[in-house]
Every structure is written in structure tokens, then in C-alpha cells.
Amino acid sequence: MSELTFYTHPMSRGRVVRWILEEVGIPYSVETMEFGPDMKSQEYLAINPMGKVPAIKHGNTIVTEVAAICAYLADQFPEKELAPPPQSPERGAYYRWLFFMAGPFEMATSALAYGWKIDCSNVQAVGCGRVEDSINTLEKVLGQTPYICGNQFTAADVLVSSYLWWEMMQKNIPTNEVFLEYVNRTESRPAAKRANKLDDALAEQMNVAMA
């Protein structure tokens, strides 16, 4: 098995990747990166030219971007059943929601968090469309099935649940019953609990707190 190195900070999107790594259940080493000069060092820029975490190096393969890392790990370890089979009807939904969260949803919630103006004059020009449409779309699908792709928990749920939890905690989106039930269901998984415990301990060690 190829060695896997995980580059992260405990108060970053690295928490999402920590969860998927715990779901996969393979050994990995952790390189903790500090915000600022540490992430902008020439050594780390060779891993991620954006100078951001998370990132993974798996053998000779480097993967950045949270959704890409989740999809990559699910495909590398198919025995963990973290992605629907390639020929199944659910595979399309799996891709759809991975990219929806990384694209429209994150843009919409960033607009809410930072007061970016998206109105009827420019709504067709932005990827998320109307902000409320992105949120309502997610609420509708999660109200129909236990997981984002149906009855099977997948790597897409790691992304969806993590982003929903963060945005509700930051009060950028409403903590409605559908979102709360879904997040409680997914966050109760043993791997999620292990991941949170590991990152909380790392945050304490680094003396950093949740923003």
C-alpha cells in the first residue's frame, strides 16, 4: 500500500478530509501546517501552489481540493463502498452533489457570509444563481432520502454534512429540521467521531480555537 501524507490544519477544511480518511481506515501520516508563512513556503507550494490546506500525497499522487480528495479516496478504496458503483443510477447523483457542494453551495454560502451582492441583475452570471435556490435545493433532496445519494452513505455525504454543519454553526443558513436531522445522522458515525476527536486534540495542542 502506498504511503499517504495528509497536510492539514485542525481549523480548516482539513477536518472534512480527516473524516474521509477515518472512513477509509488506512494508515496515514499528518503534516500540520500553520496559516501564514508555513503554508507559503517553497516546500509546501510544491504540494499545493495555492498555499492552502488540505492536501494529500498518496505515493506519487498529489490531490488538493476537498471534493476531489473525497472522490479520489473513495475510488482508491472501493471495498469501503464510499461511492456508488460506476454503472449504477446513483453514480450520477454522487457526482452531482459532490460538485454542487464544491460549486454553487459554497459560493452561495460565501456570499451570505461576506455580504456579496447577488441580485436579479446578475443572478444568471454567477454559478450559484439565487442564493436561496442553492439552499432550498439541498433541503429538498435531503428531505427525501436518508443520504444525499439515496440509502447509501457515500463520500459525498462527508462533504455535504461537513459544509452544512459549518454553515449552520456560523449562522449563515437556517438550522431547519431537515438539515439538523441529516447532520446528526451522519456525524454519529464512528469515523466522524474519531475524526473530530483527533482534530480537537490537535487544535488543543496547537492552542487554536474554532473561528
Please choose, from the candidates 45, 67, 36, the residue with its C-alpha nearest in 3D space to the C-alpha of residue 206: 36
Q: For the segment 147-161, what is each residue's pLDDT rounded down to a tens digit?
A: 999 999 999 999 999
Domains of the chain, with CATH numbers?
4-81+192-206 (3.40.30.10), 90-152+154-188 (1.20.1050.10)
Region 175-195: mean pLDDT is 97
Alpha-carbon distance of 116 to 156, in angstroms, equals 27
Q: For the segment 137-148, what is each residue's pLDDT rounded down to a tens digit?
A: 999 999 999 999
Region 123-135: mean pLDDT is 74
> Residue 19 pLDDT > 60, yes or no?
yes
Quote the pLDDT of residue 123: 67
Alpha-carbon distance of 27 to 95, in angstroms, equals 27
CA atoms within 13 A on the CB side of 94: 23
Write down the pTM of the prediction.
0.93
Q: For the segment 159-175, what is each residue's pLDDT rounded down to a tens digit?
A: 999 999 999 999 999 89
Is 183 strand, coil or helix?
A: helix
